[in-house]
Structure 1
Amino acid sequence: MLDLALSVLFSSLIFVIFKLFKVYKIETLYAIITNYVVACVVGLLFYNGELSVVEVLGKPWFPGTLLLGFLFIAVFNLMAATAQKVGVSVASVATKMSLVIPVLFGVLVYKEALGPWKIVGVLLALAAVYFASVKPRPVDFKNTSLFLPLLVFLGSGLIDTSIKYVQEVYIEEREFSLFSATVFASAALMGILFVLLRSYRTPIRMNLRNALGGVALGVPNYFSIYFLLRALQNQELNSASVFTINNVAIVMFSTLLGILLFKEHLSVKNWSGIALAIVSIVLVALF
């Protein structure tokens, strides 16, 4: 459970850092690319085996890192835009509502058992995610703020499902650091290529502030994935339980951080969502 708690902590910090990007006028794209370079370096530092590019290219999980790298750079930019334009809690919720996708994948593909109390817990988790984030102002259906969370939802669900599949089928525990570093290297490369391709229209504006923002983001980003991979090795919890607890706890914790750090206002529905989150975590963890 310690691995799961650490994954929640570092994932929640990501949303806070995204919010700070707007405060300190950090350009998100450049910071995100730098973050992936930093996360890759951290992963390589924690890897104890011998490093060989040829060996990495021959790993059975290498093709999966290319897909994950693309998804990471795309979804991270969407998460940042959602956090800045709609709010930290909405970005967190859009990301964590996606727990439905890997949970269904685990049940349908790996035949993971969900007892009646766990099913109740998952349903309460979805309700908790919604109520913890719902805003008092009406939603403008013509605004892109509705489209952004939807894309984050789909992309995040695909990332979690892909991580579970690769972890289940291909990765040994001793390769977690190397796998994570390779995914981040792939994301960084795709981000750099994107910046270079658009440089003929938009000049590259990398500076120290953007780099420091990327460093601040890269360290918790690496550990959020590393500890999630470790948590998925837990023999007492199946992947449906891990993703449910992880995602709901992140919503709850990041929402509370939004209150403490950014004075975000919570309605009665928001507090009800936090209460439901606690109940859902207890049900999924104990049953």
Structure 2
Amino acid sequence: MIYLIFAILFSASLALALRISETFSDNRYGILVGNYVTCLVVAFILLPDKNIFAAGSRTAVLTGIVNGFLFTGNLVLMQKCIRENGAVLSSAFAKLGIVIPVTASILFLGEIPTLFQLVGIVLVIVAIWVINSEGDRGCGRRRRMGSAGLLLVLFVVSGMADGMSKVTERIGERRFDALFLFYTFLTALVLTVVLAFLEQQRTRRKIGKMDFLSGVAVGFPNYFSTSLLLASVSRLPAFIVYPSFSVGTILVVSFVSVLVLGDPISRRQIGGCGIILVALALLNL
């Protein structure tokens, strides 16, 4: 459980670092490049023998590459969905993607929740929807629901990206976890650099020093939240890890945003946070 708690704290730190980085940079690709460079460097430093072509590591390499594509694809889809459906609806569908790995673990991996835990999972879904269901002011229903197919793709890709940690835990070897993370971030970095180059060609805007440094600040919590999530699913059932990780992050970010950053919070969000507390209690019974 300690790995899951720290995974939630680092995930919340990642979200808050992205929130604060907006003050210093508005070049999203610059931040992402700095982020993935940092993740890759940390991943290499933490490799036990610094051998990125270790014998018997084919599964870790392949799953890492797939995970890197899912990371980047999720980012691109999220950006496109926000433009076409608004940030609120897109965020809700992305977070609800946890339904995919949770359902797969129950149906195919024999991880059966108790009745209380099942109620907790349902409450997690309700809480995510409540917190994200206030709607985008100024966006009509037609615009927000105009790309239902794209939202469905985002839901699936986000769920697959979340579930890759469990896939790796099942088909890979624990001694290659660091290598899996290395190839995840290497793939994501290469793809992001390509996207940044295309964006620069389109806008004639280069990545500045503050863009990159903001990404570095994001990279450290990103790496450790990902690695600790992987450690969590190797020790706890997916139906506990993924819902707790998702709503736990929302709870911590909401708490810090209100008390430290002075962000406003609505009654609906307060109600959603209350549901989260009940859900976390049930999941851990």
Same fold per TM (> 0.5)? yes
Question: Alpha carbons of 1:233 and 1:133: their partners in 2 closer, same or farther (altered >3 Å)?
Answer: same
> How far apart are residue 259 of structure 1 and its match?
2.1
Q: 3-state SS of the aligned residue for 1:54? A: coil
Aligned partner of 2:194 in structure 1 is 193
> How far apart are residue 7 of structure 1 and its match?
0.7
Question: Alpha carbons of 1:133 and 1:257: their partners in 2 closer, same or farther (altered >3 Å)?
Answer: farther
TM-score by length of 1: 0.85
Distance in 1 between residues matched to 2:27 and 2:80, nearest whole Å: 11
- Which letter does structure 2 place at the counterpart of 1:167? E
Q: Are the equivalent residues in 1 in contact too, given 2:24–2:214 (CA < 8 A)?
A: no
Q: Are the equivalent residues in 2 in contact too, given 1:29–1:77 (CA < 8 A)?
A: no
> How far apart are residue 34 of structure 1 and its match?
1.9
Distance in 2 between residues matched to 1:145 and 1:59, nearest whole Å: 42
Task: State the superposition RMSD in angstroms.
Answer: 3.0
> How far apart are residue 108 of structure 1 and its match?
1.4
- Which letter does structure 1 place at the counterpart of 2:17? I
- Which letter does structure 2 place at the counterpart of 1:255? S
> How far apart are residue 218 of structure 1 and its match?
0.6
Is 1:111 the counterpart of 2:110 in the alignment? yes
More displaced stretch, 108-117 vs 53-62:
53-62
How many residues matched?
281
Structure 1 stretches lacking a partner, 5+ long: none
Distance in 1 between residues matched to 2:268 and 2:252, nearest whole Å: 16
Match of 1:157 among 159, 180, 184: 159
- Pairs within 5 Å for 1:136-215: 140-143=140-143, 152-172=154-174, 174-197=175-198, 200-203=201-204, 205-215=206-216
More displaced stretch, 160-169 vs 223-232:
160-169
Distance in 2 between residues matched to 1:220 and 1:80, nearest whole Å: 22
Question: Alpha carbons of 1:119 and 1:132: their partners in 2 closer, same or farther (altered >3 Å)?
Answer: same
More displaced stretch, 182-191 vs 152-161:
152-161
Distance in 1 between residues matched to 2:280 and 2:221, nearest whole Å: 23
Aligned partner of 2:247 in structure 1 is 248
- Pairs within 5 Å for 1:95-134: 95-134=94-133
Q: 3-state SS of the aligned residue for 1:264? A: coil
Distance in 1 between residues matched to 2:135 and 2:95, nearest whole Å: 20
Distance in 2 between residues matched to 1:151 and 1:137, nearest whole Å: 21
> How far apart are residue 264 of structure 1 and its match?
3.2
> How far apart are residue 144 of structure 1 and its match?
6.0
Question: Alpha carbons of 1:254 and 1:86: their partners in 2 closer, same or farther (altered >3 Å)?
Answer: farther
Question: Alpha carbons of 1:92 and 1:227: their partners in 2 closer, same or farther (altered >3 Å)?
Answer: farther
Aligned partner of 1:239 in structure 2 is 238
More displaced stretch, 254-263 vs 30-39:
254-263
Q: Are the equivalent residues in 2 in contact too, given 1:26–1:213 (CA < 8 A)?
A: no
Structure 2 stretches lacking a partner, 5+ long: none
> How far apart are residue 29 of structure 1 and its match?
1.2
TM-score by length of 2: 0.85
Question: Alpha carbons of 1:25 and 1:54: their partners in 2 closer, same or farther (altered >3 Å)?
Answer: closer
Q: 3-state SS of the aligned residue for 1:23? A: coil
Question: Alpha carbons of 1:263 and 1:79: their partners in 2 closer, same or farther (altered >3 Å)?
Answer: farther
Question: Alpha carbons of 1:203 and 1:100: their partners in 2 closer, same or farther (altered >3 Å)?
Answer: same
> How far apart are residue 12 of structure 1 and its match?
1.4
Distance in 2 between residues matched to 1:171 and 1:210, nearest whole Å: 36
Aligned partner of 1:20 in structure 2 is 20
Distance in 2 between residues matched to 1:140 and 1:34, nearest whole Å: 36
What whole-Å deviation, never above 9, does each CA across 1:126-178 have from its counterpart, x for those lacking one? 11112233327655334469868766543321111222111211131x33222
Question: Alpha carbons of 1:23 and 1:200: their partners in 2 closer, same or farther (altered >3 Å)?
Answer: closer
Identity in percent: 23
Aligned partner of 1:69 in structure 2 is 68
> How far apart are residue 208 of structure 1 and its match?
0.4
Aligned partner of 1:51 in structure 2 is 50
